[in-house]
Structure 1
Amino acid sequence: MIRILTVARVVWLDVIRRKDVYVLLILLAILLLALVSMNLFGFGGATAYVADIGLLMSWLFAWVLSLSIGCRLLPQEESRGTIFALLAKPVTRLELIVGKWLGACSVVGLATVCFYALVFGVSMLRGWSLPIVVALQAVALHAGVIGMIVAIAIMFSTRLNSDASATLAGALTATSFLVVPRIPEFVAQAGQLRGGILLFLYNLLPHFEIFDLRMRVLHGYAAVPAGTFALVLGYGVLVTTICLAIGWAAYRHKRFTRGSLSGY
């Protein structure tokens, strides 16, 4: 466990060294400007609308950060040659992958909490009443989504460079966000073969939509029952574990040769 935490700490140091904090500040500034400028378009009194836009942007920013950080961690170690120093130490490849995942999740998770705090703060200043329990559930489930996205990004990056893994992980997660929830509608209009393929994809791809509590937060609905909440989190843990296991299986026998590592 200590070695995993050490690898996660290295991820934080790398984020600070690369000045990714500035990217976070820029994203926060963009989000704040967007929320404040709602008055310009006549939405000053529609606090729920302002919160809706802010939460949507928070999801978008968290998705981008998860992919950009998760997809580069392993390829950059290989391109720099620092992978040899890591593997020369008593750090297994599984510990390396889990540590990278933990570090990336904690970075993106903290950024997402900042996004939510900003959105909720601006909305409450405009007179919006925050449903605290539902809001906490929304943040927790969003953290589960971040864990899955980072795991998917790392899974692809075990065999691909950062650009290719970001493209594939982005396409897969975007499809899961936008298309998977609508597959039942498509199946009803599809033939037997096409419907079977769609159902296969529906069961194969991750279901991010069950983690999205934005509507509950915006409209002040009741909190998700504890049993359902635990099941959704358990599903997120399962998907994350499967992706990390696939990534480890692809990485455990990967061979590195000095001088032949391509850039990331």
Structure 2
Amino acid sequence: MTHTPLPDLILEPLIRAALMEDLGTYGDITTRTVIPEKTRYTARLNARENGVISGMQIAALAFRLVDPELKVTAHKADGDTIVAGDLLMEIEGRAASILSAERVALNFAGRLSGIATLTAGFVAQAKGTATRITCTRKTTPGLRLVEKQAVLHGGGFNHRFSLSDAILIKDNHIAAAGGIRPVLRAVKAQASHMIRTEIEVDRLDQLEEVLDEGGAEVVLLDNMDTPTLKDAVAMTAGRLVLEASGNMRMSRVAEVAATGVDYISSGALTHSAQTLDIGLDF
């Protein structure tokens, strides 16, 4: 799958902040102490386990921000499937510059590749159905943009990026507003025609209320068991987009996708992904 990279201009502040955090107040004193200024090397970014790669654009930008004269050659692109031993990237130039950028580049690449790899596993479980796998807002503070990009690299789709993207009425909104009908009537009375509305339900009688009242385009079916999800799909009969969420382990994805829901959302894609082992070797 081809993925359009984000503009470097958008990514640069995030990566620059990470580099500043790592370089501290006085820079890389180890490298400055033990590596002669003119020492040059070619370093290789290598995969140490199988997975789906993400963060290559960010890693390359980290090296270039430390030293614009470094020559960075990508051998794998974000979204590529990789196996242990694959050469991902070569970086040629001042050894001190490579070493100073190494940890930030690896932190991003490992973290984002872990998300892409876990997402690809979920997507594989839904293969043969029309169900799409999507993430949530359960992301690392400050890293939402790149973590959601990693979900795309793994073959998934993105949910909201922020509270301002769409109206998503959760159980606490319903409780505070006095019920499903009051919140949907408020949406119909006040929301812009440009904004989509999703509402969360955890029982079929609530879904029946939504279908009867109108005012939402998407229903989030929260923590329903598989037979109940099947009933929800039958009740809705294509009138609304259905998103299954809550307790969505990879082992359950196939049976949930088979119910006919349109989306399966999982916070685990971003909050529980294991870092993929990627190393940099001189």
Structure richer in strand, relative to its length? 2
Structures share fold, TM-score greater than 0.5:
no
In terms of fraction of residues, the more helix-rich structure is 1
Q: Give the TM-score of the pair, scaled to structure 2.
A: 0.26
Normalised to the residue count of structure 1, the TM-score between the two structures is 0.27
Higher relative contact order (Cα pairs below 8 Å, separated by 6+ residues): 1
